[in-house]
Amino acid sequence: MSSIQTQFLNIKAHHSRYPAIDPETTLKGSASSKIVFIAGASQGIGRATAVAFAQAGARAIYTTARSEKALEETKALVSKANPETQSEYMVCDVTDEEEVKASITDCVTKFGGIDVVDSNAGYLDQWKKIGESDPASWWKTWEVNLKGTYYLIRYTISYLIDSAKKHSSRGSTGGHLILISSVGAQFVTPTASDYQTSKHAINRLCEFVEVDHGEDGVKCFAIHPGGVPTALAKNMPDRLHANLIDEPDLPAGFTVWLCSGKADWAKGRYLSCNWDVDELTQIKDQIIQDDLLVNRLRTKA
């Protein structure tokens, strides 16, 4: 069995949207009344996620990225997917604390709160051995992938707590936080020290959100989005491009499924968007009982 296979549960794998995570059928209406904040929504997975939430009936979608033109395109696609979904955006660099705060404030001012946060902005430069790496590029990976994610969590957490309370009083579920991790978080691949360590840290950060704010009603998940051939992913060495076989609507649909409340039992854990959600749910008790899908140090052979 390959090293990649060992990182996946022994359940059916998907590479594109399927009925259980389809926002236009099974999950239609699941995002009704919700306000969704997506960072890194100018293209690829982030853009597909914005469209998927619109298809699922989101009341409003607020997007950020560094390209205004691309954000305009995403907004148009959201409106096309669901003319009833309101959409606004702000140009924002997630590594800039003040810009992150300003975008969150603008979202809340325009729409009245935040029910879902999707931290999708990421960075991956050309991989090099540590002794040959560019220090500025190596640290930028951490600044975008981790510091940017921290800023989003820090300044949206109070709204997510409010959302969880509000939806709980209505008999529904809110306060969902999605962090983009990677299957690479579990590996030690030569030349990938910056990217893989930053994603490993994302998994642990997700666990800390659960420890610190799980009782407040926040449901946080760290997800591997699959091998989607995004511009970022194509910066990996050519030998790994054969693994880029997944469609962006896979993580988009999986994220909508997570935020529907169907997986609240798995909060604080690392999940792969490739995993079949019905089979995943069937082993729920084992995952909880054995505390699976979290970072732990094995001390027994």
For residues 8 and 183, what is the distance between their CA atoms, to the nearest angstrom? 9
Residue 28 appears among annotated catalytic residues: no
Of these residues, 147, 155, 159, 199, which one is catalytic?
199
Where b means 16+ CB within 10 Å and e means fewer, 98-137 reads ebbeebbebbbeebebbbbbbbbbbbbbebbeeeebeeee
Per the annotation, the verdict on 199 as an active-site residue is yes
Residue from 195, 262, 267, 270 carrying the catalytic annotation: 195
DSSP states along 80-133: HH-TTSEEEEEE--TT-HHHHHHHHHHHHHHHS--SEEEE----------GGG-
First and final C-alpha spacing in the chain? 19
Task: Point out the residues that are catalytic.
Answer: 195, 199
